[in-house]
Amino acid sequence: MASREDDNGAQTPTGKVTPSSGNVTAVTVTRAAGGGTGGRTPPPPDPPDSDDGEEGMLRMSFLEHLTELRSRIIKMVMGLLVAMVVSFSFCSQLWRLIAAPAVEALTALGIKPPTLKAITPMEQFNVIWVKLPFLCALFIGSPWVLYQVWAFISPGLYKRERRYAVPFILTSAGLFIGGGAFAYFVAFRFALTFLLGIGVGNYVDPMVSISEYFDLFVNVTLGVGLVFEMPILIFFLTLLRIVSPAFLVKHSRYAILGIFIIAAIVTPTPDAFNMLLFALPMCLLFYVGVFAGYLLVLKREGRRFPWPKVLTVGGIVLVVLGALLYLAALHYKLHPVSHWPFLKR
| pLDDT of the residue at 217 | 93
CA 265-237-309 angle, to 5 degrees, is 100
Exposed e or buried b per residue across 310-319, where buried means at least 16 C-beta atoms within 10 angstroms of its C-beta: eeeeeeeeee
- Higher-scoring residue by pLDDT: 18, 172: 172
Per-residue pLDDT of 140-176, as tens digits, reads: 999 999 999 888 887 777 777 777 778 888 999 999 9
Where do the structural domains in the chain lie, given as residue ranges?
1-30, 61-188+196-228, 229-305, 307-345
Query: Which phi and psi (to 5°) does residue 329 adopt?
Result: -65, -40
Lowest-pLDDT range, 71-80, 116-125, 188-197? 188-197
Q: Which H or E run includes 11? A: strand 11-13
- Quick one: average pLDDT of 326-335? 80
Contact 119, 202 (CB under 8 A): no
Contact 166, 150 (CB under 8 A): no
Q: What's the distance, Cα to Cα, between the start and end of the chain in Å?
A: 109
CA 119-120-122 angle, to 5 degrees, is 135
Has residue 94 got a pLDDT over 70? yes
| pLDDT of the residue at 41 | 52
Q: How far from chain centre, in Å, is Cα 309?
A: 26
The chain-wide mean pLDDT, for the chain, equals: 80
- Quick one: average pLDDT of 216-220? 91
- Higher-scoring residue by pLDDT: 17, 99: 99
- Higher-scoring residue by pLDDT: 96, 240: 96
| pLDDT of the residue at 19 | 46
Per-residue pLDDT of 259-306, as tens digits, reads: 888 888 877 777 777 788 888 888 999 999 999 999 888 888 888 888
**Distance between CA 345 and CA 343 in Å, rounded?**
7
| pLDDT of the residue at 125 | 92
Give the pLDDT band of residue 85 (cuts 50, 70, 90): very high
Of 45-49, 193-197, 241-245, where does the model show the most confidence?
Answer: 241-245
Per-residue pLDDT of 299-321, as tens digits, reads: 888 888 888 888 898 899 899 98
**Distance between CA 39 and CA 33 in Å, rounded?**
11
Has residue 6 got a pLDDT over 80? no
Contact 101, 186 (CB under 8 A): no
Q: Among 32, 46, 340, which Cα is nearest to 186's? A: 340
SS3 content of the chain, % helix, strand, coil (to 5): 65, 5, 30
Q: Among 168, 258, 182, 272, which Cα is nearest to 222's? A: 182
- Quick one: average pLDDT of 95-100? 93
Query: Which phi and psi (to 5°) does residue 3 adopt?
Result: -135, 160
Q: Strands of 29-128 (E only): list them.
A: none
Of 99-103, 158-162, 166-170, 238-242, where does the model show the most confidence?
Answer: 99-103
Has residue 177 got a pLDDT over 90? yes
| pLDDT of the residue at 93 | 93
Give the pLDDT band of residue 27 (cuts 50, 70, 90): very low
Secondary structure of 183-213 as H, E, C letters = HHHHHHHHHHHHHHCCCCCCCCCCCCEHHHH
